[in-house]
Structure 1
Amino acid sequence: MLARLVNGLRATRPTVVSPFAVPTLGSIRHKHEYAPRFKNLRKAQRGRITVRTGGSTRGSTVEFGQWGLRLVSEGVRLFDKQLKAADGAIAQLIRKAAPGSQLYRRFLLSTPVTRKGVNIRMGKGKGDIENMATRWPTGKVVFEVGGQMHDQVVKEAFKRASRRLPGRWEVIKKGDLPVVGSQEVPEATPRNYLQEMSENPTKRFQALEDSKKEEFVKYRRR
């Protein structure tokens, strides 16, 4: 009887769910969990950030809310801890300023990041999965905010979030033009380096030019 009572107390004990834990098959993924829904994760390599060379504009505009946070610089790798910190910074500010607002997350962490312990010999395969990451290309929106709030509140919230994320970000509104994936690089104009050096010569260049004068040639008898 006592053993049954102890087992019953153990069964009713609340379980602590990690924000980065991978849910099992058939379970529900909560808002604080960024891991994908599938159970078996295949270990992946680091890979490269996608460079949109075909003129794609997918994901570069605001779709669900009124404001969005878009990447301006070159593509970066976003980790779950970075996104969680940015998510908390935005939610904390808009929760106080605009209680009826809503935060939209437009990312999926589908790339597992492995790590091997210290003082472990080489080989023996990859390490265990430590966290999750995603490859974020240029011109893609990561967070969106909707609701009745002032523009300064949104800018301040996204400013705090951008400090916790790598790269440079910009705030856009609903209806702004999309960003084309591939942008033509302007053709470089030819430069006359000899003329530029003659206008602003260095000591070595000035000595070389002086050595070509008639007085120096006669003195050296060459």
Structure 2
Amino acid sequence: MLSPKKTKYRKAHKGRIGGIQANGGVLHFGTYGIMAEEPARITARQIEACRIAISRKMRRIGKLWIRIFPDIPVSAKPAEVRMGKGKGSVEYWMCRVKAGKVLFEIDGVPAELARTALEAGASKLPISIKQITVEKKERREV
């Protein structure tokens, strides 16, 4: 699963997610992609489940890009522990996703296969998504 090798701080505040993504709403690498329609917190497990679902549908042809990374630690205290005594230990990693952020991109597969693969991946995520595509003539070269 995805997690950072090193962080500046061990634990983070919960934070708020609001607004629309200023950048990251355009396909840079692939021809097809999925975009978040609402803000949410997405865990490393959900990203991994989505990646596996997409790559299984694609049958290892084409290429897949993951445009999000879980870099925020989420801490939790054990069950039935009294209040106080500090913040709990890090349980998992997540990333904050704003509306309009491209989550996954794929390329090198037919349009129908790309659509079904992205639907399979989107079913693993806790948010509503929108499938986006770019024509070859409009595609931005990186």
> Of the two structures, which has the highest relative contact order with CA contacts closer than 8 Å and spacing of 6 or more?
2
Find out whether 1:101 has 2:62 as its counterpart.
yes
C-alpha RMSD of the superposition: 1.7
Q: Which residues of 2 match residues 34-53 of structure 1 at below 5 A?
A: 34-39=2-7, 41-52=9-20
Say whether 1:162 aligns with 2:130: no
- 2:33 maps to which residue? 68
How many residue pairs end up in the alignment? 136
Corresponding letter in the other structure for 2:10: R
1:128 aligns with 2:89: yes
Q: Structure 1: which 5+ runs fail to align?
A: 1-18, 20-33, 177-222
Q: Which runs of 5+ in 2 are unaligned?
A: none
Identity of aligned residues (%): 30
Matched, 1:110 2:71: yes
CA positional deviation for 1:78: 0.4
Deviations 1:108-151 (A, max 9, x none): 2111011111111111111111100111000110000011x221
Q: Which has the higher helix share?
A: 1
Structure 1 runs (4+) greater than 2 angstroms displaced: 39-42
User: For residue 47 of structure 2, what is the aligned residue in structure 1?
Assistant: 83
Of structures 1 and 2, the larger Rg is shown by 1
Higher strand proportion? 2
Deviations 1:154-193 (A, max 9, x none): 11111111111112111111258xxxxxxxxxxxxxxxxx
What SS is found at the alignment partner of 2:54? Answer: helix
- Alignment partners' CA distance in 2, 1:59 and 1:43: 26
Residue-by-residue CA offset, 1:42-82 (whole Å, 9 max, x unaligned):
21121111314xx82x110110111111012x201101111
Alignment of 1:151-190 (within 5 A): 151-174=111-134
Q: CA deviation at 1:40?
A: 5.4
Measure, in 1, the Cα distance between the counterparts of 2:107 and 2:9.
33
CA shift at 1:100, angstroms? 3.6
What letter is aligned with 1:63? H
| Alignment TM-score, normalising by the size of structure 2 | 0.88
TM-score, normalising length: structure 1: 0.57
